[in-house]
Amino acid sequence: MLGCRAASCPGDRPRQPEELMARADSGSGPWPPEGRLGSWTQMSHTKPYIRKKAVLIMYKVFLKYPESLRPAFPRLKEKLEDPDPGVQSAAVNVICELARRNPKNYLSLAPLFFKLMTSSTNNWVLIKIIKLFGALTPLEPRLGKKLIEPLTNLIHSTSAMSLLYECVNTVIAVLISLSSGMPNHSASIQLCVQKLRILIEDSDQNLKYLGLLAMSKILRTHPKSVQAHKDLVLQCLDDKDESIRLRALDLLYGMVSKKNLMEIVKKLMTHVDKAEGTTYRDELLTKIIDICSQSNYQHITNFEWYISILVELTRLEGTRHGHLIAAQMLDVAIRVKAIRRFAVAQMSALLDSAHLVASSPQRSGICEVLYAAAWICGEFSEHLQEPQQTLEAMLRPKVTTLPGHIQAVYVQNVVKLYAAILQQKEQAADTSAAQEVTQLLVERLPQFVQSADLEVQERASCILQLVKHVQKLQAKDVPVAEEVSALFAGELNPVAPKAQKKVPVPEGLDLDAWINEPLSDSESEDEKPKAMFQDEEQRHTKPRAPEADEQELARRREARRQEQANNPFYIKSSPSPQKRYQDAPGVEHIPVVQIDLSVPLKVPGMPLSDQYVKLEEERRHRQRLEKDKRKKKKRERERRGTRRHSSLHTESDEDIAPAQRVDIVTEEMPENALPSDEDDKDPNDPYRALDIDLDKPLADSEKLPVQKHRNAETSKSPEKEDVPLVEKKSKKPKKKEKKHKEKEREKKKKEVEKGEDLDFWLSTTPPAATPALEELEVNTTVTVLKEGQEEPRGEEQDAEEDREQDLEKKPSKHKKKKHKKDKEERPKDKRKSKKKVPPADEEAAEPVENGTLEEEPLPPMSSYILLAENSYIKMTYDVQGSLQKDSQVTVSVVLENQSDSFLKSMELNVLDSLNARLARPEGSSVHDGVPVPFQLPPGISNEAQFVFTIQSIVMAQKLKGTLSFIAKNDEGSTHEKLDFKLHFTCTSYLVTTPCYSDAFAKLLESGDLSMSSIKVDGISMSFHNLLAKICFHHRFSVVERVDSCASMYSRSIQGHHVCLLVKKGEKSVSVDGKCSDPTLLSNLLEEMKETLATC
Amino acid sequence: MGKLRRRRIRFILIQNRAGKTRLAKWYMQFDDDEKQKLIEEVHAVVTVRDAKHTNFVEFRNFKIIYRRYAGLYFCICVDVNDNNLAYLEAIHNFVEVLNEYFHNVCELDLVFNFYKVYTVVDEMFLAGEIRETSQTKVLKQLLMLQSLE
């Protein structure tokens, strides 16, 4: 049992919680109960370190085993008041986490948290708690009221930006939740907005971003207070960072009003021109359209301006949002009747101008607007100034390069135009002109008939036939205009997307009633259809008797007709809908404002939206004057009015009447539609299981065994032992029951207390002094709470404070860094100056991988070491291993004749050791030497190679040897000898092997390597040369290099991996090594130390 | 009140500019493929950002708080509603501890002594929560653990 072990040997197993943790992570199967118990008991461990870990992992345990939450909760709650601040904050973390999921269960903890909030000085904890309160306030508005004050105090006092931000966020949440209840919260809002403004004005991008983010939250409920900072938001649009610009755009969306819409859009338009990336430009475009069209064009006072903005937007090349602009054009033209004349004029100009058609349709989506332009010109052709010209524009051969669906619209609307022109010409009795138009169509339409798009083809051939027929009739002088325009008689009404749903089911129509009685052979079939048609419609209809008398039916029919007449969405069957449209009171009550004639109706060429801003100003000015006149009159009559907006020249939004009005009111939701919030609950959500009522008393089955001392248990029931066994058995359950009952009663009492406690704590007005004893008790505890107790400070508090101070200092610190960009990060802070972290902005050298280092010229190096020397000969040697032969090394000996004698019959012999022996030619004994296969004339050197067989390579070793030779000169020949000591270093067993960093990391992760390290001081050599030296002399290769740090790799002939981490400090180098053999590693490092010492 | 989501650290990633992962600590269940995908996406999102940009990026349904130290990006993925600055501080705190512990920390330290780095992570973060914020305490504990080796 884990728990027992921990209890019996306290403090010696600091890793236990991690073991538990591992199980919680991997545990798919049932978890051993002792595990749960383990972390539970460790929550009261004597070491705060263990307690802290145990507390933290409880969250994971709860997630896996929700049933453990209730029994463990009381103890978890205790930990909120643990003397160790670390444990306390761990408990806060866990409870906050739990509470965010199911906040209502934790409302009762609010007083405790409140106390913590007012007493704690740890910013990390404060942030958590404040966040939690943010989740609780929507459930308990009174809590919000209580919070406002301490939170605003914190906002005023704290210097930690993160805490400030959290406070502001929560205050906003609180204010949103009580938006109705509190009269004087404008001060708090003002404070928040003010602080946010400081954040946004900060040069730190992070703060700016967060400021904008929080601002947008305020905007939702208090748009007025944010609107004052429009300048700031507009400024942010110029920011370099796209995410900041996007946040600012979001804010703008909510900031527009009738008053400033034109100005803001104008500003945005300049940004559209300046924008570099198409994505941002597209974003701007959609935002402009969103802003203008929001809530049914609420803020647009002049639709001509809007149309010209849309037309200006069509000049954007390469935008993806052509269809959006098109949709807006259509929508406005259809719904704002007064604007049609103007819109048609603009659209015909668009059709006429070549630039849209010319741009390649594959790349640019902007040609989509032609779809709208063609449709508008066709449908409202009666407003066209020069229909003939537009008709010709639409029949240009270039049009066939457009996408199919646009061509289709072109073809259809060409006919509408044609109809209008015919009518016009026939009225003027200009038959030849009418025939000319027909001829034009007959000539041009075939280009569409040949289209690859089926829709275009079909429409074109159909219409071509029609026109040809008309031509025949015209030849006979038959007036045709009437009949052709009859094709398009009537008006197309806009239909709201949800209109169909709103059409009520006509009375007398029972959608559930069978049209044909079903075959009643099985009952199961009866039930099926019911389930299928479980729809909203069902609720509209009441079950009614299927047969009603004639009179009743007639009455219903009449009522239905009335209803339909009043419903603009109902498609009417009457023959002259246009007339009816005017008569019907349901539509007529929407006043259609006549167009303001001060605006020139036809703007030559492309319109400029700017001029509307001016015109709008004038219009408003006129309006204002009129209003002022009226006001004056009123004032004279009333003398004193309690008007809020007494200043004459600040017009509120409501004062500005739109020049045109949008026809359709916003669609309603169907009556029985459910708010979609409930869809959010995911039944598979693991956190749902944690939605547990914690205030309910524990059932017996839920209780966890409590550890007690054994003697305590026996002393509790001394009389039991005297009782005979049989009796004991029968007595025990009874007693337990009783005890339990008592406990339960107590608990209930407590619960009631708690409930009242919370209520009391939350209520701001002191309750009338009630005589109930219980409540008096509560009262006293509350006052204690309110006073804010001073917690006894633990010894660790100091350390904690250290960190807190850091937290507070930081934001200002990084500000400084950003400003000055000096590398000396914290000159003031002595403690910190030691810990220099590479600054974030500094451009780092890319890591070098497996590269040969070629930055600087390297000093010449040789791996040959002097072996022995005398007056005749000098021997240098080098040892090389190869990966192919795992126990052989080749010793290359360079023999240099230093005398003027001729050296011959050279023979090398060594004294073999157990571990290393010289490979001799076959058949020779161990004492024989190996002849050198050459002779040396004076001054000449040559190299001979000897192979040695090595058993173990983890240790360095020396072999004694002798070189014997005959020196021959003019005076004769002598037999000479030279003794030497052959030194096999561990390095000599290494073979330079390249290694990729991935493989290197894998190797390290394998965990089979042992570790060792050295440090060498007083090094002046550059890191680059140093690495080169290690590479050369110790046969390593560089795996990766980052700044003055490098990882290196090599391999021994017997396959040992050797990994190094070489780090250069100011004047020192540290080398950490990892190797499959510890002895080899330490020997290697010792050798390396010697090499480095000479650097 | 809107949807309440779980809020804690989803994962901690340390990557270099080239996209090599130096440390990955997951506090959420992911498949290996998914992890790889996340790593690549995070890299793509974070490295393109200029030093002048904010240290926060929206990422899928979460957000990433990241900070660049020399060639390394320290990324923490948290819920969108979490306090950005707090995690930014947490990153800095973490790096300071690493720096102290490894004596002038370097990218390759994280490779070479990866298990120590994970120990540091575990000392400072547990189960997706910030567990200890006091540098002195963490370092004391780390040295104690090291002495057991």
Per-residue pLDDT of A89-118, as tens digits, reads 888 888 888 887 788 888 888 888 888 888
Tell me the mean pLDDT in the region A566-593.
48
Tell me the mean pLDDT in the region A226-252.
81
Res. A852: pLDDT tops 60: no
The type of residue at A81 is E
- The answer as to whether B1 is a domain residue is no
Report the chain A residue with the minimal C-alpha distance to residue B86: A162
Q: Which residue has the higher pLDDT, A945 or A41?
A: A945
Beta bridge partners of A966: A904, A975
Interface contact flag, A847 B112, Cβ < 8 Å? no
Contacts of A496-501 with CB under 8 Å at 24 or more apart are A496/A569, A496/A664, A496/A667, A497/A667, A498/A667, A498/A668, A498/A669, A498/A670, A499/A569, A499/A667, A500/A569, A501/A536, A501/A670
Mean pLDDT of chain A: 71
Assign A1044 a pLDDT band (cuts: 50, 70, 90): confident
Hey, is the C-beta of B130 within 8 angstroms of any chain A C-beta? yes
Which of A167-181, A262-276, A985-999, B63-77 is the most confident on average?
A: B63-77
- The answer as to whether B4 is a domain residue is no
Q: Which residue has the higher pLDDT, A597 or A1077?
A: A1077
Report the chain A residue with the minimal C-alpha distance to residue B113: A1004
| Range name among A296-300, A408-412, A856-860 with the lowest pLDDT average | A856-860
Interface contact flag, A847 B55, Cβ < 8 Å? no
pLDDT of A355 reads 64
Tell me the mean pLDDT in the region B21-34.
87
Q: Which residue has the higher pLDDT, A914 or A454?
A: A454
* φ, ψ at A1059 (rounded to 5°): -115, 140
Positive or negative, the CA dihedral A177, A180, A182, A185 is positive
Interface contact flag, A807 B95, Cβ < 8 Å? no
Interface contact flag, B53 A810, Cβ < 8 Å? no
pLDDT of A39 reads 60
Residues 897-936 of chain A whose Cβ lies under 8 A from any Cβ of chain B: none
DSSP per residue over A929-990, as a string?
A: -EE-S--B-TT-EEEEEEEEEES--SS-EEEEEEEEEEEEETTEEEEEEEEEEEEE-SGGGE
CA distance B66 to chain A (A): 11
CA distance B5 to chain A (A): 7
Residue A613's contacts (CB-CB under 8 Å, 6 or more residues apart) are: A262, A263, A266, A305
CA distance B34 to chain A (A): 18
Assign A951 a pLDDT band (cuts: 50, 70, 90): confident
Tell me the mean pLDDT in the region B58-68.
85
> Which of chain B's residues have a Cβ under 8 Å away from the Cβ of A179?
none
Hey, is the C-beta of B111 within 8 angstroms of any chain A C-beta? yes
> Which of chain A's residues have a Cβ under 8 Å away from the Cβ of B101?
none
pLDDT of A583 reads 44
> Which of chain B's residues have a Cβ under 8 Å away from the Cβ of A94?
129
* Percent with pLDDT over 90 in chain A: 0
Nearest CB to B106; choose among A103, A162, A1045: A1045
Helix (H) or strand (E) holding A570: none
Interface contact flag, A21 B126, Cβ < 8 Å? yes
Hey, is the C-beta of A131 within 8 angstroms of any chain B C-beta? yes
Report the chain B residue with the minimal C-alpha distance to residue A1047: B108
Assign A723 a pLDDT band (cuts: 50, 70, 90): very low
Tell me the mean pLDDT in the region A812-834.
42
Q: Which residue has the higher pLDDT, A495 or A1077?
A: A1077
Nearest CB to A846; choose among B8, B17, B50: B17
Interface contact flag, A57 B127, Cβ < 8 Å? yes
Q: Does residue A766 come out as left (phi exceeding 0), alpha (psi in the -120 to 50 range) or beta? A: beta
Interface contact flag, B109 A1061, Cβ < 8 Å? yes
Interface contact flag, A838 B69, Cβ < 8 Å? yes
Nearest CB to A1042; choose among B50, B53, B107: B107
Interface contact flag, A139 B1, Cβ < 8 Å? yes
> Which of chain B's residues have a Cβ under 8 Å away from the Cβ of A1004?
111-112, 114
Interface contact flag, B3 A680, Cβ < 8 Å? yes
Res. B59: pLDDT tops 60: yes
- Terminal-residue alpha carbon distance, chain B: 51
Substitution target from A1063, A1066, A1069, A1075 for chain B, most B beta carbons within 10 A:
A1063
Query: Of A87, A33, A100, whose CA–CA distance to A57 is shortest?
Result: A87
Substitution target from B47, B56, B93, B111 for chain A, most A beta carbons within 10 A:
B111
pLDDT of A263 reads 83
Report the chain A residue with the minimal C-alpha distance to residue B149: A1011
- The answer as to whether B2 is a domain residue is no
Whole-angstrom CA distances from A659 to A265, A289, A654 are 18, 19, 13
Tell me the mean pLDDT in the region A573-577.
45
Task: Please answer whether residues A964 and A980 qualify as being in contact, where contact means their C-beta atoms are separated by less than 8 angstroms.
Answer: no
Question: Maximum Cα–Cα distance for chain B, whole Å?
Answer: 51
pLDDT of A796 reads 46
Number of domains into which chain B is organized: 1
Beta bridge partners of B13: B24, B75
Give the domain extent around B76: 9-148
- pLDDT (tens digit, 9 = 90+) per residue, A176-212? 776 655 556 677 788 888 888 888 888 888 888 888 8
Res. A571: pLDDT tops 60: no
> Which of chain A's residues have a Cβ under 8 Å away from the Cβ of B67?
840
| pTM reported for the whole predicted model | 0.57
Report the chain B residue with the minimal C-alpha distance to residue A1003: B112
Mean pLDDT of chain B: 84
pLDDT of A676 reads 45
Res. A682: pLDDT tops 70: no
CB atoms closer than 10 angstroms to residue A561: 10
- pLDDT (tens digit, 9 = 90+) per residue, A955-969? 888 888 888 888 888
- The answer as to whether B122 is a domain residue is yes
> Which of chain A's residues have a Cβ under 8 Å away from the Cβ of B54?
205-206, 208-209, 241, 243-244
Hey, is the C-beta of B23 within 8 angstroms of any chain A C-beta? no
Interface contact flag, B56 A90, Cβ < 8 Å? no
Say how far residue A136 (Cα) sits from the centre of its chain. Answer: 24
pLDDT of A856 reads 53
pLDDT of A532 reads 46
pLDDT of B79 reads 84
pLDDT of A401 reads 82
* φ, ψ at A120 (rounded to 5°): -70, 145
Hey, is the C-beta of A91 within 8 angstroms of any chain B C-beta? no
Res. A26: pLDDT tops 70: no
Over its C-alpha atoms, chain B yields an Rg (Å, rounded) of 15
DSSP per residue over A260-308, as a string?
A: THHHHHHHHHHHHHH--SHHHHHHHHHHHHHHHHHHHHTT-S-HHHHHH
DSSP per residue over A729-784, as a string?
A: HHHHHHHHHHHHHHHHHHHHHHHHHHHHHHHHHH-SSPPP----HHHHHHHHHHHH
HEC string for A96-137? HHHHHHCHHHHHHHHHHHHHHHHHCCCHHHHHHHHHHHHHHH
CA distance B47 to chain A (A): 13
Interface contact flag, A1047 B112, Cβ < 8 Å? yes
* Percent with pLDDT over 90 in chain B: 1
Q: Domain with B78 in it: what CATH number?
A: 3.30.450.60
Res. A720: pLDDT tops 80: no
Question: CA torsion A826→A831→A834→A835, rounded to 10°?
Answer: -70
Nearest CB to B18; choose among A59, A800, A847: A847
What tokens does A586 get? 């349901």
- pLDDT (tens digit, 9 = 90+) per residue, A733-768? 445 555 555 555 555 555 555 555 556 566 554 444
Res. A877: pLDDT tops 60: yes
Over its C-alpha atoms, chain A yields an Rg (Å, rounded) of 46
CA distance A156 to chain B (A): 18
- pLDDT (tens digit, 9 = 90+) per residue, A995-1031? 888 888 888 888 778 888 888 888 888 888 888 888 8
SS3 state of residue A196: helix
Q: Taking CA B26 as the corner, what is the angle to CA A811 and CA B34, rounded to the nearest 5 degrees?
A: 120
CA distance A886 to chain B (A): 27
Distance CA B50, CA B55 (A): 10
Res. A124: pLDDT tops 60: yes
Tell me the mean pLDDT in the region A976-989.
86
Distance CA A637, CA A651 (A): 22
Distance CA A108, CA A693 (A): 11
Residues 814-873 of chain A whose Cβ lies under 8 A from any Cβ of chain B: 834-842, 844-847
Nearest CB to A687; choose among B6, B56, B83: B6
Nearest CB to A844; choose among B70, B93, B95: B70
Angle between the N-to-C axes of helices A278-297 and A322-335, in degrees from 0 to 180, rounded to the nearest 10: 20
Assign A673 a pLDDT band (cuts: 50, 70, 90): very low
Distance CA A169, CA A188 (A): 12
pLDDT of A287 reads 85
Hey, is the C-beta of B114 within 8 angstroms of any chain A C-beta? yes
Q: Which residue has the higher pLDDT, A910 or A800?
A: A910
pLDDT of A645 reads 43
